Amino acid sequence: MGFLIVLIILLAAFILIRCIRIVQQARAYVIERLGAYKTTWNVGLHFKMPFIERVAKVVSLKEQVADFPPQPVITKDNVTMQIDTVVYFQITDPKMFTYGIEQPMVAIENLAATTLRNIIGDLELDQCLTSRDIINTKMRSILDEATDPWGIKVNRVELKNILPPKEIQNAMEKQMKAERERREAILRAEGEKRAAILEAEGEKESAILRADAKKQQQILEAEGQAEAILKVQTATAEGIRLINESCPTDAVIRIKALEAFTSAANGRATKIIIPSEIQGLAGLAAGIVEAVKTPEEKAE
């Protein structure tokens, strides 16, 4: 009898312990009482009535990622492509998520596939390849509105891969190669043009500098010659002024004339006209030289 009482006590303690639940962060427990929805437990310590209440579903409130397999879609210009999508969603209402729809992930996958087909069907191949942001935005808006009654909020939708047919990929690669070659030719031609322009500008500037240097040289030479002439004329004028100030006699003037005559005689002139004054002065000078000679010099 005592053993049975102990067993009952242990069983009751075990049941009570099992009825105590601790809800972790970013989780929610959906509680049912006698098969009907009772409440939603959030973070903290909770106690449920044994045999009457039960945890119907444990819901994660974190943002979740659903990566769906590629789906065949047809563009407006009748090109069949394989596109796979990634959906980022978060459960905002555990009750609606639990009772709103059966297999919500399957529902989201099918909804994403049909929505993608509808959007791609209105676009051509080139638009599909260049308008990912537009497609993502449209899909997110449609999916978020459709999943709102299920307690799900779609935060973001991304097109993971867009795979055109193999022949379309080959044609695109050839087109891209031709475009690269065209750009390369344009860049090469622009570079050669720029180099020719720079070379011509360099030759032009070099010619201008040479002409300017020659001009400066001629100016400096002319200035030097003018300055030399000016100095000679100034010296001549100064000599004349000094001679005038010293009041030279006729004899001095005649000697200077004789010196000038001597300088003229050293030139290349074939005919020299000698003034009478210089002739007399020359005779006088010869007489003086003869008078000052020694007897030995005269005998010679």
What DSSP assignment string belongs to 109-139? HHHHHHHHHHHHTTS-HHHHHH-HHHHHHHH
Give the confidence band of 91 by pLDDT, cuts at 50, 70, 90.
very high
- CA-wise closest residue to 260 among 290, 291, 239: 239
Concatenating the DSSP letter of every residue in 37-103 gives EEEEE-SEEEE--TTTEEEEEEEE-SEEEEEPPPEEEE-TTS-EEEEEEEEEEEES-HHHHHHS-SS
- In this predicted structure, the answer to whether residue 292 has a pLDDT above a threshold of 90 is no
For range 61-66, the mean pLDDT: 92
pLDDT of residue 88: 94
pLDDT of residue 44: 87
**Rounded-to-integer distance, Cα 77 and Cα 122, Å:** 9
Q: Tell me the pLDDT of the chain averaged across its residues.
A: 81
Cβ(61)–Cβ(30) under 8 Å?
Answer: no
* Non-local CB neighbours of 20 within 8 Å, separated by 6+ positions: 45, 46, 47
User: Could you read off the pLDDT of 150-161 as tens digits, one per residue?
Assistant: 999 999 999 888
Least confident stretch, 22-26, 226-230, 241-245: 241-245
pLDDT of residue 289: 46
Give the confidence band of 170 by pLDDT, cuts at 50, 70, 90.
confident
Give the confidence band of 174 by pLDDT, cuts at 50, 70, 90.
confident
**Rounded-to-integer distance, Cα 3 and Cα 25, Å:** 42
User: Could you read off the pLDDT of 94-105 as tens digits, one per residue?
Assistant: 999 999 888 888
Of residues 291 and 11, which shows the higher confidence score? 11
* pLDDT-above-70 percentage for the chain: 80
Cβ(73)–Cβ(121) under 8 Å?
Answer: yes
Give the confidence band of 202 by pLDDT, cuts at 50, 70, 90.
confident
Burial class (CB in 10 A: 0-12, 13-18, 19+), 204: exposed
Give the confidence band of 164 by pLDDT, cuts at 50, 70, 90.
confident
For range 261-284, the mean pLDDT: 53
For range 236-254, the mean pLDDT: 67
- In this predicted structure, the answer to whether residue 110 has a pLDDT above a threshold of 80 is yes
Q: Residue 30: CA atoms inside 13 Å, Cβ hemisphere, count?
A: 17
